[in-house]
């Protein structure tokens, strides 16, 4: 019923969003006489702020048309390498004369399925492109997947990662950001146990809940203090009829988004107020930065109920991975079996989603990897998003990943 109420609210807000967008243009467009009235800037700023608060946000485009390699601009072609019901493997294919002379490492970037679209990693991809052949898991909004495609469990996530690794071959390097560190570690552990020839050369784990018992955050505490039955009955809803996935049980993206906002409401209020002031001052650069961030932050997707509930129980309540109790398809996940894949773990000093030590726990679990093939890095001053986007990511973290990959290429 909550999903239907949300859709009803969206239906009411759609005319409001259209009206405020028109009002903003009326008082800002240079061809409008109203743009030259004494209070035009205040009116335009107010209308745009209301428009952005009330509008519905769609999945953003990757918007990565080019990169620069050896001083030459190289065209990027976005191609679907593998198309599955719940995920598309996107290849950012680089084209140009300079590419004929290069053989860059192949990287599988596993994006989180945690409410936001994979495009949240746009800055991650942008920084990797000059020196790597990049593939990204682009997860599908569960409300767009017909119910006839069946359920999607955490085990299925593990199988998807294995399928992508086998598609890309043995010379692949894996980077997982946040939530997928757990299923990626499971996928590689099971491949190692089976001596699969397509085990990756390296795996980079960034800000993920390998062992949520260490430095628990507000996110961890919610999962640990509420019983499993509460999540089943309170946050799982069925997709309304107007979507292809009608009837599918999901954890709606709007609930996840509301949870993220509730973690830091003052920060978001201040950000919107600063945006209004930037519009009044004519500070177009800061205003555009605000638009870009919230275009991404406010665009959310639904998660399959089975996957979400499995994650709550297996990862955050029973801690099956660090306790050595997790079975995928009846097979025990044993990270100690990994011997051929080098490991780099990365954490943010100020991460308020995956606390310090949660990702580093992989170092202890992967006891079969030689010490020379393991490394850890804590990014000073970096929060959760700062470890994969922004200045610290570009200047401090990405170069360390590139160096680690090339050491083991």
Cα 275 to the chain's mean position, in Å? 25
CA dist 217 and 49 (Å) reads 32
Say yes or no: 377 and 344 in one domain.
yes
* Domain end among 56, 74, 89: 56
At 126-170, the pLDDT tens digits run 999 999 999 999 999 999 999 999 999 999 999 999 999 999 999
Same domain, 220 and 326: yes
Measured distance CA(309)–CA(63) in Å, rounded: 33
Which of 146, 88, 155, 152 has the alpha carbon at shortest distance from 117? Answer: 88
CB of 6 within 8 A of CB of 302? no
Asked if residue 101 has pLDDT above 80, the reply is no
Domain check: are 400 and 359 in the same one?
A: yes
Same domain for 167 and 52, yes or no, is no
CA distance 15 to 380: 45
* Six token digits for residue 28: 């800002």
Q: Is residue 220 part of a domain?
A: yes
CA geometry: angle 282, 287, 288, nearest 5 deg: 120
The answer to the question of residue 385 being in a domain is yes
Please check whether residue 380 is in contact with residue 348, taking contact to mean a CB–CB distance below 8 angstroms: no
Residue 109: name the closest of 202, 10, 247, 218 by CA: 202
Q: Is residue 131 part of a domain?
A: yes
Query: Does any domain span residue 107?
Result: yes
Does the pLDDT at position 100 exceed 80?
no
DSSP calls for 314-378:
IIIIS-TTTTT--EETTEE--GGG--SSEEEEEEETT-SSS-TTTTTHHHHH-TTS-GGGEEEEE
The parent domain of residue 51 ranges over: 1-56
Q: Are residue 43 and residue 79 in the same domain, yes or no? A: no
The DSSP annotation for 328-341 comes to ETTEE--GGG--SS
pLDDT per residue as tens digits for the range 355-383: 999 999 999 999 999 999 999 999 999 99
CA atoms within 13 A on the CB side of 249: 15
Output the pLDDT for position 4: 81
CA distances in angstroms from 390 to 141, 144, 313, listed in the order given: 26, 31, 33
Q: So what's the pLDDT on residue 349?
A: 95
pLDDT over threshold 90, residue 219: no
SS (H, E, C) 199-251: CCCEEEEECCCCCCCCCCCHHHHHHHHCCHHHHHHHCCEECCCCCCCCCCEEE
Q: Is the confidence at residue 27, as pLDDT, over 90?
A: no
**CA 122/CA 174 separation, integer angstroms:** 17
Is residue 212 located within the same domain as residue 337?
yes
* Amino acid 257: pLDDT: 81
pLDDT tier at 222, thresholds 50, 70, 90: confident
48 and 167 both lie in a single domain: no
CA distances from 205 to 52, 296, 338 (A): 34, 23, 14
Q: Is the pLDDT of residue 1 over 80?
A: no
Residues 14 and 135 in one domain: no
For residues 328, 331, 336 and 338, what is the CA-based torsion angle, rounded to 10 degrees?
A: -80
Inside any domain, residue 215: yes
* Res 192 pLDDT > 80: yes
Tens-place pLDDT, residues 228-282? 999 999 999 999 998 999 999 999 998 888 877 877 788 889 998 898 888 888 8
Element (DSSP H or E) covering residue 82: strand 72-84
Share of the chain above pLDDT 70, in %: 100
pLDDT band at 177 (very low <50, low <70, confident <90, very high): very high
Mean pLDDT of 96-107: 85
Start-to-end C-alpha separation, the chain:
52
Q: How many structural domains compose the chain?
A: 2
Last residue of a domain, one of 28, 56, 84: 56
Average pLDDT score over the chain: 93
pLDDT at residue number 336? 98
Which one of 34, 56, 78 terminates a domain? Answer: 56
List, as one string, the DSSP characters of 57-79.
PPPPP----EEEETTEEEEEEEE
Query: pLDDT at position 10, please?
Result: 78
Identify whether 43 is part of a domain. Answer: yes
49 plus 71 within the same structural domain: no
Q: What are the distances in angstroms from CA 374 to CA 123, 184, 316?
A: 26, 17, 25
The pTM assigned to this predicted structure is 0.91
Q: Give me the CATH number covering residue 321.
A: 3.40.50.1820
Q: Do residues 217 and 335 both lie within one domain?
A: yes
Choose the weakest-confidence range: 109-123, 147-161, 276-290: 276-290
71 inside domain: yes
Rg of the chain on CA atoms, in Å: 22
Q: Which of 357, 352, 376 is nearest to 214 (CA)?
A: 357
Provide the percentage of residues in the chain whose pLDDT is more than 90.
Answer: 67
Report pLDDT digits (tens) over 302-359. Answer: 999 999 999 999 999 999 999 999 999 999 999 999 999 999 999 999 998 899 999 9
Closest CA to 352 of 250, 294, 267, 255: 267
- Dihedral class, residue 240 (left if φ above 0, else alpha if ψ from -120 to 50, else beta): beta
Would residue 120 count as lying in a domain? yes
Residues 80 and 33 in one domain: no
**pLDDT (tens digit, 9 = 90+) per residue, 72-86?**
899 999 999 999 999
Instruction: Give the tokens for residue 71.
Output: 């001083």
Q: Do residues 29 and 150 both lie within one domain? A: no
């Amino acid at each position: 019923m909550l999903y239907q109420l949300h859709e009803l609210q969206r239906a009411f807000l759609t005319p409001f969003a259209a009206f405020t967008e028109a009002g903003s243009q009326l008082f800002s467009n240079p061809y409008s006489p109203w743009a030259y009235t004494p209070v035009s800037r205040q009116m335009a700023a107010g209308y745009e702020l209301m428009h952005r608060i009330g509008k519905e946000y769609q999945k953003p485009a990757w918007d990565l048309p080019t990169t620069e390699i050896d001083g030459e601009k190289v065209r990027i072609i976005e191609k679907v390498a593998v198309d599955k019901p719940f995920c598309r493997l996107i290849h950012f294919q680089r084209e140009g004369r300079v590419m004929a002379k290069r053989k860059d490492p192949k990287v599988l970037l596993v994006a989180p399925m945690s409410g936001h679209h994979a495009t949240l990693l746009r800055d991650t991809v942008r920084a990797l492109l000059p020196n790597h052949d990049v593939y990204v898991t682009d997860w599908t909004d569960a409300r767009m997947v017909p119910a006839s495609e069946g359920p999607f469990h955490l085990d299925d996530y593990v199988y998807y990662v294995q399928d992508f690794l086998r598609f890309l071959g043995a010379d692949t390097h894996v980077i997982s950001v946040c939530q997928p560190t757990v299923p990626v570690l499971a996928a590689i552990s099971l491949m190692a146990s089976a001596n699969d020839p397509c085990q990756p050369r390296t795996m980079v784990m960034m800000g993920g809940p390998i062992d949520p018992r260490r430095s628990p955050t507000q996110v961890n505490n919610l999962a640990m203090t509420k019983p499993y039955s509460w999540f089943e009955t309170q946050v799982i809803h069925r997709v309304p009829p107007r979507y292809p996935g009608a009837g599918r049980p999901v954890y709606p993206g709007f609930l996840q988004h509301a949870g993220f906002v509730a973690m830091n409401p003052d920060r978001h209020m201040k950000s919107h107020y600063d945006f209004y002031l930037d519009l009044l001052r004519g500070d177009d650069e800061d205003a555009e930065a605000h638009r870009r961030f919230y275009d991404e932050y406010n665009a959310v997707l639904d998660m399959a109920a089975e996957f979400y509930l499995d994650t709550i129980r297996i990862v955050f309540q029973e801690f099956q991975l660090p306790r050595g109790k997790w079975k995928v398809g009846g097979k025990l996940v044993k990270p100690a079996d990994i011997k051929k894949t080098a490991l780099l773990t990365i954490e943010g000093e100020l991460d308020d989603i995956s606390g310090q030590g949660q990702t580093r726990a992989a170092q202890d679990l992967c006891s079969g990897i030689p010490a020379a093939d393991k490394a850890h890095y804590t990014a000073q001053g970096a929060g959760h998003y700062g470890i994969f986007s922004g200045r610290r990511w570009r200047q401090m973290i990405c170069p360390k990943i590139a160096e680690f990959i090339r050491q083991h290429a």
